[in-house]
Structure 1
Amino acid sequence: MTVTAGLRQTLRRDAPAGHPSLRTTAAQLPTLLVLSWGALFFNVLTPGSGMILPLPHAMTQAMAQGSLLVALVLALLVNPRLVIRPNTFLVLVSAMAVMALIVSMYSPFPVSSTYRAVRLIGFVACLWLLSPWWGRADLALLRVHRICLWAALGSVLLGAALAPGKAFAAGGRLSGVIWAMPPPQVAHYAALILGTSAILWMCRVIGGRHALLGIVVGVAVLIGTHTRTALIGTIAGLAIACASLFLGHARVRRATLWTIVFGALAGALFAPQIVTWAARGQTAEEASQFTGRTKVWEASLAEDRPTVTKMFGSGLSNKSFDGLPVDSNWIATYLDLGWAGIVVQVTFILLLLVMAITHVRGVRRAVALFLIVYGIVASVTETGTGDASTYLLDLTVAAALLVPEPGRRLR
């Protein structure tokens, strides 16, 4: 069966060809698609400590890592003909995964590194199996991704209601305790809900109540997590997304104007509180060092490494250096995959930016720009695009929004 014939039989339209709408019931999304993406999302939720239920770490780790196999099985069930949609983004991600496997086999820790690389290849294989849902007018993958984000935030809010002491135990910052999620991870999910809800409302894709709920919850969780990178990423992503819509949408122009006015008033009235919140009890020196991160970055870059290791890295790791978290996507990629890995990641991010710039103006381009810009900002202090992570899922959703609609391409 050809790819064209498979796409004709596999893809079913759930929305009209005009303005896409999320005002649809959950039944219009294939259940297996939701479950498969949900299992992928759960797979990248790094288990930790501090949960309400004192589950052993080995059990939570097995649950998270085992969900990848579940995601693959479900993806095969939802795409039994193994139809894939060719795209350059996943080709580059696949090349990165294969390179990670080759390098990891020669790592100083070959067993753990190779295991991580095999999991990355399985993760990418699942993304290939779900590629027939790219480019759809009903924004299928974005809708599924938002369902997962809402589920994660719902568990965080429930944990905060049941055990507020545990939820705010990390220096007064909100974290997940139903399933352990550190504050930066929680802030990431809140930022995506906030940003996508605002853009979808401005483009008249979702209603006001739905958008208001997403914005209020997103802002509240962002404030509770005290995560500055997520806040900066949200502002930058929304600014670029609104700029892409500014000339064609009156609602965007009005919303931008009122946001600037209220933002200026809030900044003038609550400047001391905003500065206190942003400082997080740190000195100016600590803030300039990204809470001590720059010391780890300098030490990791100063380490004497062979030329081959500088070029191709030493295999996938737990993203740490001398027992300290690296907390930078680019430093972690340099350590794991060398300059070659950085080149591949820069290439597929630039590819997405070019696709977004050349895409027709509208909701799909705006949401994709928000996801891409947010990921670029977050990559300074967060790891993700060099391994299976929520950030890689975000970029996949952005790529899915930017490809042409399958029906139009076939015609």
Structure 2
Amino acid sequence: MGGHPRSGAPPGGPDDTAGTRPAVEPRASSTPGVEPRPSGTPKSVGIVWALLILNTLGSSGAKTILPLPRSLIQMVTMGSLGVAFALALALNLRLRIRASAFLFLLTLLLVPSVISSLQLESGFGALFRCTRLALFVGTLWLLTRWWDGGLTFVRYHIRIYFTVLGSVVVGLVVSPGAAMPELYGGRLVGALWPLTPPQIGQYTAVIIGLTVLLVLGRRTDRAGAAMVIVPSIVLLALSHTRTATLGLLIGLVLAIGSLVLTSAAARRFFTWAVLCAAVAAVGFASALRAWFLRGQSQENFTSLTGRANVWDALLAAPRTTTEKLFGTGLSDKSFGGLPIDNSWLAAYHEQGLMGVTLVSGVIVVLGGVALLRPPSVPRACAIFLISYVAISSYTEAGLGDASAYLLHLALAASLLAAPASAGPLPTAEVPRRRIPRWSRERR
């Protein structure tokens, strides 16, 4: 984020966060709200991360201003993954990777995915999705070379998703009717790229949370952060996404709570946030309730907009022992033509009990490592991401396949990675004073 990221209190002051200061002063950046990239990571790594995000944007959603054939969108998204893998391989030809329990579990997840997809119950598309998941995980393995517990990938995440949201704003300005169609109840969608309201809510919530934590950790200036946070809050409100809003609030509470013992700024922010929330709950209770209900009936709200009906049907469907253990193969996350909208049930349907176990292991491992790390801004960002994904998994699918949610968890894993151990500094050899031969003979 722009400006000097460490302006404010002097080092060691009350606002200093333990263990979060960079060793080298970063250079100024022209991107609002995002710290400059450290010199240790090639710029091409950011391109790989952008291509991975492009791959997870999806190919179905709202109608765009200019009709885009789904085959063209799929060609772009799938092609971006192939380019990302090739570029990551070119950057890491020696295959230098770092151990990662997170990626090890994702690699194991390929086993039930392939076993169930080979049965072709979901068609040949299941094998194609297995290949996509393998490339996705392989690209992340290649990027572990640059996972050092720093905030480099957080900056990539904010910049790229902020750019994606910029396309949503352009679509809203050019064609407000297409950006807020009646088909989605007047909620904000992507009019240039087919993004759904839950996607927009997810992207805005993630970059808001990460930017707030960077501000509290004095890793960015407030003016630059406001240029990211304020428009993102507006887009989140227009998307009317309840899951993203709850995930943002709960995730920030947990993340900031991990900093309150070491950061005075976090304590002040937490206090003011609680006071503002109390005032809003009292003064705007009716308005907040109306926004939260979205004009739905009590019955529709209780069934989570019909999701519960799909979940009951999925659980009641007869399954063989093999299907219970390994699932029916990777699909489009639907059952009976309706979206599943639950990561755990989607994993059970597609990858069986083995898939559910591995996905649970991913969350448990990342959460356990985060709790064992000392308080710091990277740890707080990781806690926010893990919490957000865990909350969203109840009404959104994607933890068992290449998705934005897995990419959020990959970012958390990079933040929890131990810094690369530096070898001992070479000691300067002091030249020995040469004694003339005639002097030695005299002695």
Name the TM tier (shorter chain).
over 0.9
Uncovered stretches (5+) of structure 2, i.e. residues with no partner: 1-20, 28-33, 426-443
1:35 aligned residue: 47
Distance 2:41 2:47 in 1: 10
Residue 233 (structure 1) aligned with residue 247 (structure 2) = yes
Provide the C-alpha distance between the structure 1 equivalents of 2:35 and 2:356, rounded to a whole number of angstroms. 40
Q: CA deviation at 1:35?
A: 1.2
Task: Give a deviation string over 1:196-230, Cα, whole Å, max 9, x none.
Answer: 01111011111101222222122211111111100
Deviation at 1:103, TM superposition (A): 1.9
Deviation for aligned residue 1:81: 2.0
Q: Which residue of 1 aligns with 2:23?
A: 17
Unaligned runs of 5+ in 1: 1-14
Q: Which of 74, 80, 88 is the matching residue for 1:75?
A: 88
Give 2:138's match in structure 1, choosing from 110, 121, 125: 125
Q: Which moved more, 1:289-298 or 1:80-89?
A: 80-89
Alignment of 1:121-200 (within 5 A): 121-137=134-150, 139-169=151-181, 170-200=184-214
Q: State the alpha-carbon separation in 1 of the partners of residues 25 and 245 from structure 2.
A: 30
Which of residues 103, 106, 115 is equivalent to 2:119?
106
Equivalent of 2:69 in 56, 74, 80: 56
Q: Distance in 1 between matches of 2:159 and 2:91?
A: 18
Do the aligned partners of 1:32 and 1:77 also contact (CA within 8 Å) in 2? Answer: no
Cα shift readout 1:261-314 (whole Å, capped 9, x = no counterpart): 122212222222111111111011111110000000000100011111111101
Q: Provide the rounded CA distance (Å) in 2 between the counterparts of 1:402 and 1:99.
A: 27
If the length of structure 1 is used for normalisation, what is the TM-score?
0.92
Equivalent residue for 2:100, pick from 84, 87, 102: 87
RMSD: 1.9
- The residue number in structure 2 matching 1:6 is none
Q: Deviations over 1:65-107 (max 9, x none)?
A: 1111111111122222221111111111011023312221113
* Mapping for residues 268-287 of structure 1, pairs under 5 Å: 268-287=282-301
- Partner secondary structure for residue 245 of structure 1: coil
Larger deviation: 191-200 or 80-89? 80-89
Which of 357, 370, 389 lines up with 1:356 in the alignment? 370
Partner of 2:405: 391
Q: 1:356 to 1:19 in 2, by over 3 A?
A: farther
Cα distance in 1 for residues equivalent to 2:171 and 2:225: 23
Structure-2 residue corresponding to 1:343: 357
1:329 aligns with 2:337: no
Flag the 1:280–1:125 CA change in 2: closer, same or farther, 3 A.
Answer: same
1:20–1:205 CA contact under 8 A, matched in 2: no
Give the alignment partner of residue 221 of structure 2, picking from 174, 190, 207.
207
Aligned length: 396
Q: Give the counterpart letter for 1:180 in structure 2.
A: P
- 3-state SS of paired residue (1:215): helix
1:330 CA displacement: 0.7
* Partner SS for 2:324: helix
**What is aligned with 2:389?**
375
Aligned AA for 1:176? Answer: G
TM-score where L is the length of structure 2? 0.86
Higher helix share: 1
Distance in 1 (alpha carbons) for counterparts of 2:64 and 2:203? 19
Task: Quote the residue 1:310 is aligned against.
Answer: 324
Q: Write the distance in 1 (CA, Å) between the matches of 2:140 and 2:334.
A: 27
3-state secondary structure, aligned to 1:51? coil
Specify which of 285, 293, 306 is matched with residue 292 of structure 1: 306
Q: Choose 1 or 2 for highest CA Rg.
A: 2
Cα pair distance change 1:410/1:129, threshold 3 Å: farther
Once residues 90 and 169 of structure 2 are traced to their aligned partners in structure 1, the CA distance between those partners, rounded to angstroms, is: 33
1:222 aligns with 236
Residue 26 of structure 1 and its aligned partner are, at CA, apart by: 8.8
Name the % identity: 39
